[in-house]
Amino acid sequence: MKLQHTDKINMGTSKNEAQLSASIWNLVILAMGFVMATLDTTVVNVAIADIQNSLEISLTGITWVVDGYILAFASLLLAGGSLANRYGAKNIYILGLGFFVFASLLCAIAETATILIAARLLQGAGAALFMPSSLSLLAQSYTDEKLRAKMFGIWAAIVSTSAGIGPFVGGVLVNLAGWQSIFIINLPIGMIALFFTYQTISQSPRLKSDLNIISHVLGIITLAGLCFTLIEGPAMGWSSFPMVSSIAIAILAAILFAVRERKVENQIIPSQLFKNPHFSSANMVGFLLNFSLFGGVFMLSLFLQEARGSSPFIAGLQLLPMMAVFVLGNLLFTKVVTRLGSRLPMLIALFTAGIGSLVLSIFISPSMSYWLLAIIFSIINLGVGVTVPAMTATVMQAAGSSHANMAGATLNANRQIGALVGVAVMGAIIHLSGGWYNSASHTFITMTFAYLIAAFLVWRFIRTETRS
């Protein structure tokens, strides 16, 4: 009898280990899409100077190369969530991944700035399809909330690793094979992800819902008008007719979007989600986080090359330690979440990032050594690394399984809109500031306000800890 009991325990242990192994494999597969989408943003930051010289693009044009991708990505993310609800997350994930790989090929063979920007828009559209689906598929893979929070931390570490090594990989690729290679790298990763997703990821349930195309179009017009204004404003003049027209169109579209969302039954974002303070405040944190992160990296990659005279390879090498700390922050969160919950680590991390940005805004100068800059910026990004999984776990738990697709889409849309606005604003700051050190100082003070506002939102509105 004891032997039989022992055998049952061993069989149960083996079964649990097999399930855990399969769950981790699913995690890796679903992270591949995120890896490509994230890598494509950070890799491009190191290559922009080389692209600018190769294709003879202005600062405004190179901002479009970065923000064109983010614009399409942010504009269509909510549509991606709606499509995942209607046609199944796995199906939309595969469709978006395939589209992204094809667009990456177009970027690699682009010979003019116009073609490259158009291909980047297509890339962003593909990423918008698979990004919310990947979060939904990940959430449905883990029913235990504690395990799910830890897996979100590991998932964030995998994604952050790609973001962290992105500048270095970009620098190496540009140095060895030219800027086109940063897009070619997506092809093998994408094909592997497509194959294993089709083979191993389970289908998700479909929900009967209308797409609400009019609201999606109004949202796209709003973001496009905002993006055009922020990028072209410094060059065309803020009071010029195109600028006044674009901001007027953006405001009108935003008002119509809000009015329509209040009246229709099939809202893009279920209104009950934003009535939850955890969900709404964590989404705003996501916006501010990406605003600072991507805007700051955009400025810093140019700063290292233009002000400090670094080559793309050296700039990528210099950015590597500053970006690699994301992973440490993600893993640190997985260690403390079961004891501290999500709120306290997020609050401390954001406050630390704000203070670090303030220090850089005051002391950045030609006499500041690279290593001091790297250490302070690494501390800032360590806070970002802690915040991302904490914020994600908060949003997904607040939404529940019934709203997982749209919660994932909403969070990522807010984060990408933050990146879109951040890059555009930092581009405007660079354009308007007198010299690179003034640009850096103004960028860092802008980051300071964003991180501290995010910390205030966590302190004020996430009143009780969300334990995972």
- Domains of the chain are 2-212+266-461 (1.20.1250.20)
Alpha-carbon span 111 to 33, nearest angstrom: 26
* Farthest-apart Cα atoms in the chain, separation: 87
CA dihedral 135, 137, 141, 143 (to 10 degrees): 70
Using CA atoms, how far apart are residues 253 and 235, in angstroms rounded to an integer? 24
Element (H, E) at 231: helix 213-236
Residue 308 DSSP symbol: S
Geometric angle at alpha carbon 33, from 32 and 35, rounded to 5°: 60
The helix/strand count (H/E) of the chain reads as 16, 0
Looking at residue 11, its pLDDT comes to 47
Q: Compute the distance between CA of residue 413 and CA of residue 420 in angstroms, rounded to an integer.
A: 10
Residue 182 is predicted with a pLDDT of 85
| Residue-level pLDDT at 373 | 95
Please say whether the beta carbons of 31 and 82 come within 8 A: no
Place of tokens 């919310």: 132
Distance CA 254, CA 266 (A): 18
CA distance 98 to 401: 26
pLDDT of residue 440: 93
Q: What is the mean pLDDT of each run of 10 residues along the chain (468 residues)?
A: 51 50 68 75 76 81 82 79 78 88 91 89 87 72 66 70 72 82 86 82 64 82 84 82 91 90 76 77 91 90 88 84 82 80 89 96 93 95 89 78 69 81 87 88 96 93 58
Instruction: Please state the pTM of the whole predicted model.
Output: 0.74
The C-alpha atoms of residue 369 and residue 154 are separated, in whole angstroms, by 33
- Give the per-residue pLDDT at 141: 66
What DSSP assignment string belongs to 251-270?
HHHHHHHHHHHHH-SS-SS-
Distance CA 278, CA 281 (A): 6
- Using CA atoms, how far apart are residues 151 and 135, in angstroms rounded to an integer? 11
What token pair was written down for 434? 């007198």
Q: Quick check: 208 and 87 in contact, CB under 8 A?
A: no
Task: Say whether 1 sits in a helix, a strand or coil.
Answer: coil
Instruction: Answer yes or no: are the C-beta atoms of 388 and 160 closer than 8 Å.
Output: yes
DSSP assigned state of 468: -
Angle (nearest 5°) at CA 389 between 463 and 422: 90
Q: Supply the pLDDT for residue 353.
A: 96
d(CA 413, CA 129): 11
End-to-end CA distance of the chain: 39
Q: Which ranges of 364-432 does DSSP label H, i.e. alpha helix?
A: 370-399, 404-432
Place of tokens 């705003």: 284
Nearest-CA neighbor of 174 among 313, 306, 298? 313
Distance CA 446, CA 140 (A): 38
Answer for the pair 454, 273: CB distance below 8 angstroms, yes or no.
no
* Amino acid at the residue 199: Q
Token pair in block for residue 85: 């609800």
